[in-house]
């Protein structure tokens, strides 16, 4: 029985929702927040255009010159939790709004294209 219990608690495999919850919990801790800030800072150095585009977009959103769309702009998708996607980082205020899954899918496609 003991072995069985240990097996059930082992972390060799975590399903996606569990992994997500774990990451979210870690990010909420002070150490997690620091790590997230470090990763952000590093990616800003690596992708300065992206960081600049995000910054410009955030200020445009706060003054209302760009409006967040209420729904994912992928055809037929009705998800209302959306993220800004920049088709071109040199046009920081030109964004398309996608839900997390369509946004991730789009970037996965870009990666495939750039690998081929
Ligand atoms: Zn994007
Ligand atoms: Zn969507």
Confidence of residue 4 (pLDDT cuts 50, 70, 90): very low
pLDDT of residue 63 exceeding 70, the answer is: yes
Within-domain flag for 59: no
pLDDT of residue 83 exceeding 60, the answer is: yes
Within-domain flag for 42: no
Within-domain flag for 97: yes
From residue 33, alpha-carbon distances to 18, 47, 53, 101, 112 in Å are 19, 21, 22, 24, 31
% of the chain surpassing 90 pLDDT: 72
Within-domain flag for 102: yes
Within-domain flag for 73: yes
C-beta of residue 77 within 8 angstroms of C-beta of residue 104:
no
C-alpha 55 to ligand 1 mean position (Å): 14
Ramachandran category for residue 74: left, alpha or beta (phi over 0 → left; psi -120 to 50 → alpha): beta
The tally of domains found in the chain comes to 1
Within-domain flag for 92: yes
C-alpha 23 to ligand 1 mean position (Å): 21
C-alpha 7 to ligand 2 mean position (Å): 37
Ligand nearest to the CA of 100: 2
DSSP calls for 28-73: HSHHHHHHHHHHHHHHHHH-HHHHHHHHHHHHHHHHTSS---SS--
Mean pLDDT of 85-114: 93
What's the token pair of residue 30?
């002070």
pLDDT of residue 25 exceeding 90, the answer is: yes
Give residue 89's domain range. 66-116
Which stretch of 2-11, 26-35, 46-55 has the lowest confidence by average pLDDT? Answer: 2-11
C-alpha 13 to ligand 1 mean position (Å): 29
Q: For residue 96, list its beta bridge partners.
A: 85
């Amino acid at each position: 029985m003991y072995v069985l219990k240990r097996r059930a608690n082992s972390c060799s495999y975590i399903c996606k929702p569990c992994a997500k919850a774990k990451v979210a919990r870690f990010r909420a801790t002070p150490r997690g927040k620091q790590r997230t800030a470090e990763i952000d800072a590093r990616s800003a150095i690596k992708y300065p255009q992206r960081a600049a585009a995000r910054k410009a977009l955030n200020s445009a959103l706060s003054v209302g010159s760009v409006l967040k769309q209420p729904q994912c702009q992928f055809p037929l998708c009705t998800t209302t939790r959306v993220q800004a996607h920049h088709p071109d980082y040199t046009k920081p205020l030109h964004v398309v709004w996608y839900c997390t899954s369509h946004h991730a899918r789009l970037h996965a496609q870009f990666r495939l294209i750039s690998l081929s």
